[in-house]
Structure 1
Amino acid sequence: MSNTIEMFGITIHKFSMNGAIDVLQEWLQFGDNDCKYVVTPNVDHVVLLEKNPAFKQAYDHAAMVVADGRPVVLASRILGKALPETVPGSDLVPNIFERFQQQQLPLRIYLLGAMPGVGEVAAANIKATWPMVEVVGILSPDFGFEKDPAYCDRICQSVAEAKADLLVIGLGAPKQEIWVEKHAHKLPVKVALCVGATIDFLAGNKPRAPMWMRKTGLEWLHRMCSEPKRLVKRYAVDAIIFPRLFIREWMKK
């Protein structure tokens, strides 16, 4: 049985959380520094992929694609392509840390993203919770940095000098995916994770939804209420377009 499905024009891996971590642990322990990067599609990603060729290219070149959004998993089940569960980036990162901590394996990570000062707080929390995980680099890039090739080269050089195994990228979609696809050949890390607000969550800068909301697929509502100016319009657009894309997939079936 194939470990992938095709849906919404992208290939998605049929990994559970533990299955994804098993693969990532193997890459991190035994892989080369060839920057295998991971993307996590949710409803907003599916909508953006329709109109952003660079974003689609980043998805096509990703080493692992695991479903972040509950609606994406539900759609897969209705279409007869059932994904086992959601694998949100905000849960994937701490679960990787926990795996390495439990097995007493060292892990060197670089935090790229979030506002100035947030990465330092996240690093302190990581050190207190997972002593085997060493934060070897922190960078909050300037706004619009992705348009400056020299600045991007300096970021890649900083990551290279830190000798990190894992690059945690929290720049938001589609910027983080497009950026890592473009610069992966200059990033000598084993794995890069495109995980949005995860650095903020690790710092406690943004509160996670209560567990019951995460388990029932309502984390989007918690996030929208926490950041209404940024997210209400986005979710409203997604709520209109995503059902159309689902119907298109259904008609293909």
Structure 2
Amino acid sequence: MINKIEMFGITIHKFSMKETVDVLQEWLQFGGNDCKYVVTPNVDHVVQLEKNSAFKQAYAHAAMVVADGKPVVLASKLLGKPLPETVPGSDLVPNIFTRFQQNNLPLRIYLLGAMPGVGEVAAANIKSQWPVVEVVGILSPDFGFEKDSDYCERICQSVANAKADLLVIGLGAPKQEIWVDKYAHKLPVKVALCVGATIDFLAGNKPRAPMWMRKFGLEWLHRMCSEPKRLVKRYLVDAIIFPKLFFREWMAPRK
């Protein structure tokens, strides 16, 4: 069975949420510390991948790519290579925790990202809801840290010292993907997840969209209304460029 498709110049795995968690559980239980990292393309990623070669390289090196965003899944269906469903990072992380909790399996995690103090609140919430999940490290890096190689080396050493199985990276795209691609060889974890605002969601610092909005693919609208200064321009640009990229994909010869 072919479990991948090619679309928008990237390879995407045809995994449901359950299948994704199945694979990640196996990696986390039985894999080596070779930092298999996971990226989750949405419309904004697709747009940025067009002009950012380092971002595209990070995607090419990822161990798993699963769709985050209903427009990406809808595009796959219209193009005749349907993805089963969205696998948003903000849902994937709790699903992994729940799987390990249900099976009473220990899991050591490191939270990298979000504003100062947010990781500590997220850790407390994780401990309360998923007692088997142990947060062994928390770091909110300084603004612009990715330009300081010594600082990045210290982050890698902190992750190594914590002996985490799973690194949850919430630095925003494309920074998180480019950073983990550059430093994966120095991160002795089994899995790293590039999952944007997920640490904020775990802390309750940013509210998730109501379930009905998520079901109908409107979580972007909720986020835009929650952070208009940061997101309105981004979503307007994406709304203009993504249809053009889809049309180009539609017109390309079918393989």
Cα deviations across residues 63-96 of structure 1 (Å, max 9, x unaligned)? 0000001000000000000000000000000000
What is the CA–CA distance in structure 1 between the aligned matches of 2:42 and 2:132, rounded to whole Å?
Answer: 31
Which residue in the other structure is 1:157 paired with? 157
2:119 maps to 1:124: no
The count of residues paired between Structure 1 and Structure 2 equals 253
For residue 152 of structure 1, report the CA deviation from its aligned partner: 0.1
2:99 maps to 1:99: yes
For residue 204 of structure 1, report the CA deviation from its aligned partner: 0.1
Which residue in the other structure is 1:201 paired with? 201
Amino acid at match of 2:171: L
Aligned 1:1-253 pairs, distance under 5 A: 1-252=1-252, 253=254
What is the CA–CA distance in structure 2 between the aligned matches of 1:128 and 1:8, rounded to whole Å?
Answer: 40
What is the CA–CA distance in structure 1 between the aligned matches of 2:228 and 2:166, rounded to whole Å?
Answer: 32
| Structure 2 residue matching 1:5: 3-state secondary structure | strand
% identical equivalent positions: 87
| Structure 1 residue matching 2:5: 3-state secondary structure | strand
What is the CA–CA distance in structure 2 between the aligned matches of 1:189 and 1:146, rounded to whole Å?
Answer: 19
What is the CA–CA distance in structure 2 between the aligned matches of 1:220 and 1:231, rounded to whole Å?
Answer: 9
What are structure 2's unaligned runs of at least 5 residues?
A: none
Amino acid at match of 1:67: A
What is the CA–CA distance in structure 2 between the aligned matches of 1:102 and 1:26, rounded to whole Å?
Answer: 15
Return the TM-score normalized by structure 2. 0.99
What is the CA–CA distance in structure 2 between the aligned matches of 1:81 and 1:67, rounded to whole Å?
Answer: 13
| Structure 2 residue matching 1:193: 3-state secondary structure | strand
Runs of 4+ in structure 1 over 6 Å off:
none
| Structure 2 residue matching 1:111: 3-state secondary structure | strand
Cα deviations across residues 4-36 of structure 1 (Å, max 9, x unaligned)? 000000000000000000000000000000000
What is the CA–CA distance in structure 2 between the aligned matches of 1:197 and 1:220, rounded to whole Å?
Answer: 13
What is the CA–CA distance in structure 1 between the aligned matches of 2:39 and 2:151, rounded to whole Å?
Answer: 23
Root-mean-square deviation over aligned CA pairs = 0.3
| Structure 1 residue matching 2:62: 3-state secondary structure | coil
What is the CA–CA distance in structure 1 between the aligned matches of 2:239 and 2:141, rounded to whole Å?
Answer: 32
For residue 188 of structure 1, report the CA deviation from its aligned partner: 0.0
Amino acid at match of 2:102: Q
